[in-house]
Structures are given as structure tokens and as C-alpha cells.
Amino acid sequence: MSDTVSFHTHGAIAEAVIDNPPVNATSASVRQGLAEAIRKLESDPALHALVIRCEGKTFIAGADIKEFGKPMADPGLPLVMEMMDHSTKPIIAAVHGTVLGGGLEVALACHYRIAAPGTKFGFPEVKLGLMPGGGGTQRTPRLAGLATAIKLVTEGNQIGTDDALKSNLIDAVATGGDLATEARAFAESLMAEGKGPRSSSTLPMPADDPALFDEARKTVAKKMRGQTAPLRALEAMRLGYELPFDEAVRQELAIFRECMHGAQSKALRHMFAAEREVARIPGLPADFQTRSVERVGVIGLGVMGRGIVMALASAGLPVVAVGLDEDNIAAAIKAITKMWSSSVAKGSMSQEAMDKRMALITTSDDPRDLSATQLVIEAVTEDLDIKKAVFAKLGEVTQPGTILASNTSFLNIDTLAEASGRAEDVCGMHFFNPAHVMRLLENVRAAKTDPEVVATIMALGKRIGKLPVLSGVCDGFIVNRMLSKRSREGFFLVEEGAKPADIDKVLLSYGFPMGPFALGDLAGLDVQAAARKARAATATERELRANFVEQMVAEGRLGQKTGSGWYLYDENRKASPNPQTDAMIAAHAERHGLCLREIGEDEIRERLLYAMVNEGAKLLSEGIVPRPHEIDVALVNGLGWPSYTGGPMHWADQIGLDKVLARIEAFRAEQGDAYWTPAPLLEQYAREGRGFYA
């Protein structure tokens, strides 16, 4: 047998037990072991049925992602499935955990399925730019019907045992005892009833419904804009109506391979690995000692503070929320109650869950009430002097060892650390608005931050359902620092003649959820004006001159919240062109004697995005981030950089850093050194013919 599949017999029942940590992926040894087990079942007359099950936390959770793109020494999963389809004896899948991708396909190729309570099922391949390549698009509709099958293969979401049972994907749910024992009993009951093999390949496709396919294509175009895999999955499923099963499965495999070798899957598999890589803190072992955090304080109850309180309470952590005064606290609790009540009204949260979360929140206007916490997150106004005073106070009223984290988006954490008197306990935890929704959390390691503090906030970030990424101290950390270069180029392009709406369209078609000007209107132009003001001391003349945001704020045009900014907004916040914007740009050009010109899409895209890539290379050179992974994960999860491009650094690698550098040099010649001096690391890597990921 293979080293990951053991074979056992219990009377007439054979068992193939897969043990291939961490998720029992169908690596070559698993495929080989399953094939051998089926051969033994067939060749031994004393054996009447085979149960396939897994050790560890889950049944097969998919094909082995790490094998993708590498030559396969064997025919892969399809051979195993074909053997199952031709087996003369029943094969039963006993499943638990997350039965995903190839794992679900193996289960559906078995003749019967019994699941432990709480098991989840799904085809997450589309999240890797793939689609089921092991018969999933052919067996699922035959077993579960067309609507369920289309939803499963295009959305990549998981369903539970109730839905799986209802849609005939499984035949039974175990009681929660020992699954192996129950699976054998289930096999015996099948044999007692004279039930033989029942291959899903022999079932007819359900009645065709082209409208369902059309609807799915529309949904994909909206929810997964720009992604090809879900559409290819639908194309594969349609084969079931045009070809015999075996031929349809063969062509499905061909479509899967096209997806696997495509740029989008390479990018999404890169993101899958990168999101796991950033959890590993360079220089610290995975099991590094962390501090116990049982109660968390939040001081500052504005929009961000409220969101942070909600994120913590939602994760079951008791929170001490400290506000300025009673009115401020009341307003915060009212806002939190309103947000959670709307979730309850929508049915996305139960009243009981809301009550539990609210009960975890205690409030105070006295920072001394933070003394019993092990972590305090500061979210007061973005003013350095005010924050310094808060950190001095926190250093006094909290116990030594209590972690003091600032949610600042660009102020210097080292300065706050000094003010606290306990620099080794100080760090940054930069949440993204809305803090109870956005996954990304930029954890900031200051010069004197204790490694134990770093390990603790990284673990806490994961514990509250965030995606923590480690950054060093710099203006804007990762996302905002790179975003500020895109904003700069956006304003410059407008000064040179590009229309804001055209610039937004370029990034929308690249895959961003919105362009820089629509984003500015959404966030509030007053917020952007405040950030520009904070950086005015180091801004260049030209950056200061491109003061469109300040001009609009002066006229009370703050964006969506006032119905007018770069765009006009109706009562439903639907955007339309704003004549005031065109007038402002024309007057600006006249005032400064600027010549406006036509600017092509390529130049717009390259100036906006290469400016960010160049800044990312500087983050690497300066050691602000340890790896390019942090940058790709942060920009995809913090700014909506389309995940199917792999993030800025992976995307630049695919273009070729020599080509990126050549364009940056061209912009430097046109725009000047101040904005387009290539990062030394980018020049070095381009010279060496390598990428950021080697």
C-alpha cells in the first residue's frame, strides 16, 4: 500500500484509510493507495464492500495544490474515479470536516456517502482560478440537480450536511459517534438490503434549463467580475448535455488544465500561499510564546473605535470601551446597537448572538478602568499630540506587560512608544474601515516592540477573524503608503488632461472595485484633504498645486456624504458626471497655465500602478516588510487590488521587472526624479533578470 493509505478488513467490509496531513489532499501516494484498495476489493471474493475514510481533521480537502503546474507521474484522480465507476462492489465514503474540491469529487464517485455531523461540502476551486477537474461538473448535477450544482461550482461556497442531504449529495448523517464504526454499520445495512454499486456516472443529467446557465453567467459577471474559471465551469457542465459521461469528463479535465496553466489560477494560487506565508513571523518559531489576552480595552469611540469594539466582541472577547464622556459613549453604543440590529433584521445574525456581543462590552469615561486589560487599542483622533498624551496615560494606568496598540494609519508609533514609558509593549494595529468587516489588519512592529508582543497581536488578529500582515514603522505602513502614490499620479493625470471618470474606468476594467476618484468620494474628500494637510510639510510644489480635493472641500463638496464631489450623487448614491468638476479642472489649468493633452489607457494604468509597484519595492528595500507576500496580501485585502492578478508584486513579476523598469525610466524622463526614481531593488532585480519572488 502507499505510505498515506492503509488497508484494513472487518469481515466482508474493507477499509481504505487515508492519512496525509494536513488536509488529506489527493497527492500521488493517496491516488495510488486508493487504486490499490479498489483492486484488492475487486480481487478478493471475501470482501463485499469498501469504506473510504480519512484520519485527521478532515476528509480529503482537495487535490494537492502544491502539485499543480508540475508534471504528474500518474493519470491522476480520473483513473481512480473510473475504477470506482466500474467497481462490481459498493464503495462508501465516510466523510468529515471540509469535503472540498477533489475530495468532494472522490466522495461523489463513491456509490454511497455518510457524513459526520457538521461536515461541510464545496467546490472552492474557483477561488484558485480553477474548476472541478475530477468529474465534479458532471456528477454534481446528476446527483443534486442543476440549480444546486451550478451554485456549488460557480460560487465556491460551502454547504452543510442538511443541505447536502436534502440535495442528495449524501445518503446519511452519522450520529456523531465513531464515524468509522457507523460507516461500517451503514455498509452492512446496504449489503443487507442487497444494495450494490451505484455509480453517479450512470445517472442521467437533470432536465436542461438554459435560463439557469444564463442567470449564473450574469451572477458571475457581477460577483466575480473579470474571473474566467466560473464561466469555464459552466461551459464544462454544459458538456453533460452534449456528450456521453466519459467524454464529458475527459473534456472537463482538458478545461481544468487550461485553467490551471492560466495566469489567473497562478495568481490566485499565489494568493492562497501568500495569505498563509504572512502568518509566519520571520525570526520567530511558529509556536513562539504569546501573552494571554482575555480582556481588551479600546480607547476612542469614533467610527474606527466602534468598529474595533464590534470586531473584538464578535470574536467573543470582553471589551472595555473608553470614551470621552457620557454623550460620546452613548452615541457609540447607539451606533453599535444600530449596526448589529440591522444584521439581526436582515437575518444574518440572531438576536441571541447580538445580545451576547453587547453583554461583552462595558463602557467607561475613565482610562483607569483599563487596568484589568491585557491589550488596549487606541483609536482617538489622528493628532500626534493627543495620541502622545493618551499613550502616556495608558503607560500609567495599565499593568506592565499590557500591550498598547495604536490604530493610527500613518503617525509614528515609535514616538507613541516613547510617550508611553513602556516602548517594548507598544505596537500598531491598523484596522481598515469598516473595522468589523474588513479582513486586513496591519500589525506594526516598532523599533522597540518586544517579539512576544508581535507574536501576540498576530495571533490575536487571526483569533478575531482578521488577516494580520506585519509592517514596520513608516508613513502609511503598506497600503496607505502605496495608495498615496496612486493618488498623486491620479491628481497629476487630471492636471495633464485625463478625465477623472476615464481614470476610474481604467482601474475598474483592470479589476479594482472602484477607481481613485470614486474611492475619494466614498471615503470623504475631507478625509483625503486632512491626510494631504498632514503631509504638506514634505510635499513638493507640484503635489501642493494639485489641490483639487482642497478646492472641493472649500466648496463643501465632500463626496457621497454631501451628494457632490468628483461626481454628483442621487439619493441612492448613484454617481453621475459633475459639471462642477469639469469647470474646476478647466479653471485650474488656466490658472496655472497648464496644457491639457489626451492620455491613453496604458499610460494611465501604468502610472497609477507602477507608482505603487515602485513604492512596494522601496518598502522591501527599507525592510518595512520582510517579503513581497505582505504587500500582495495587504493590497488585495486592504485596497481591493484584484486577487486574480496576484497583487502588485506578483503582477509586476508576470510582466517582467525589466519592462516595468523601462516604463518607470520613461516616466522619470517626462515627470522628473521626485516622483519616478526607480527603487534600487527594482533596478537590481531587473538587472539580474529575476522577480520580487525570485
Decide whether 62 or 395 has the Cβ nearer to ligand T1G.
Answer: 62
Binders of ligand T1G in range 91-120 (CB under 6 A): 98, 100-102, 105
129 is an interface residue for ligand T1G by CB under 6 A: no
65 is an interface residue for ligand T1G by CB under 6 A: yes
Stretch that binds ligand T1G, among 127-135, 351-359, 490-498, 544-552 (CB under 6 A): 127-135
Please report, to the nearest 10 degrees, the dihedral formed by the alpha carbons of residues 493, 495, 496, 498 taken in order. 50
CB of 103 to ligand T1G, least distance (A): 7
132 is an interface residue for ligand T1G by CB under 6 A: yes
Decide whether 5 or 370 has the Cβ nearer to ligand T1G.
Answer: 5
Helix (H) or strand (E) holding 573: none
- Is 568 exposed, middle or buried (CB count within 10 Å of its CB: 0-12, 13-18, 19+)? middle
| Choice from 38, 114, 130, 336 touching ligand T1G (CB under 6 A) | 130
Q: Decide if 119 contacts 160 (C-beta within 8 A).
A: yes
Q: Which of 2, 199, 409, 643 is catalytic?
A: 409
Distances (CA, A) of 576 to 169, 501, 504, 579, 664: 47, 10, 13, 10, 33
d(CA 656, CA 541): 33
64 is an interface residue for ligand T1G by CB under 6 A: yes
687 is an interface residue for ligand T1G by CB under 6 A: no
Q: Decide if 69 contacts 37 (C-beta within 8 A).
A: no
CB of 569 to ligand T1G, least distance (A): 38
* CA count, 13 A, side-chain hemisphere, 378: 32
Decide whether 77 or 664 has the Cβ nearer to ligand T1G.
Answer: 77
Decide whether 98 or 227 has the Cβ nearer to ligand T1G.
Answer: 98
Collapsing DSSP states into helix, strand and coil, what is residue 441? Answer: strand
263 is an interface residue for ligand T1G by CB under 6 A: no
315 is an interface residue for ligand T1G by CB under 6 A: no
CB of 254 to ligand T1G, least distance (A): 13
Binders of ligand T1G in range 3-22 (CB under 6 A): 22
CB of 124 to ligand T1G, least distance (A): 4
Task: For residue 342, give the C-alpha cell.
Answer: 440591522
Residues in Cβ contact with 393 at an 8 Å cutoff, skipping those fewer than 6 apart: 367
CB of 123 to ligand T1G, least distance (A): 7
Edge-to-edge strand ranges of the sheet holding 158-159: 98-100, 120-122, 158-159
Q: Is 442 a catalytic residue?
A: yes
Omega before residue 22 within 30° of 0, cis? yes
Task: For residue 199, give the C-alpha cell.
Answer: 455509480
Per rule CB under 6 A, count of chain residues that contact ligand T1G: 24
Q: Which of 48, 96, 111, 430 is catalytic?
A: 430
Decide whether 9 or 290 has the Cβ nearer to ligand T1G.
Answer: 290
Q: Is 480 a catalytic residue?
A: yes
| Choice from 35, 41, 62, 464 touching ligand T1G (CB under 6 A) | 62
Classify residue 125 by its DSSP letter. G
Q: Decide if 403 contacts 376 (C-beta within 8 A).
A: yes
Binders of ligand T1G in range 275-294 (CB under 6 A): 276
CB of 328 to ligand T1G, least distance (A): 38
Rg of the chain on CA atoms, in Å: 28
Nearest to 655 by CA among 599, 584, 594, 605: 605
Give the orientation angle of helix 516-523 with respect to helix 525-534, to 10 degrees.
100
124 is an interface residue for ligand T1G by CB under 6 A: yes
Q: Is 433 a catalytic residue?
A: no
| Choice from 8, 10, 39, 66 touching ligand T1G (CB under 6 A) | 66
**What distance, in Å, lies between the first and last C-alpha atoms of the chain?**
38
CB of 109 to ligand T1G, least distance (A): 11
CB of 131 to ligand T1G, least distance (A): 7
Residues at the site binding ligand T1G, with contacts judged by CB under 6 A: 22-23, 25, 61-66, 77, 98, 100-102, 105, 124-125, 128, 130, 132-134, 136, 276
Active site residue ranges: 409, 430, 442, 480
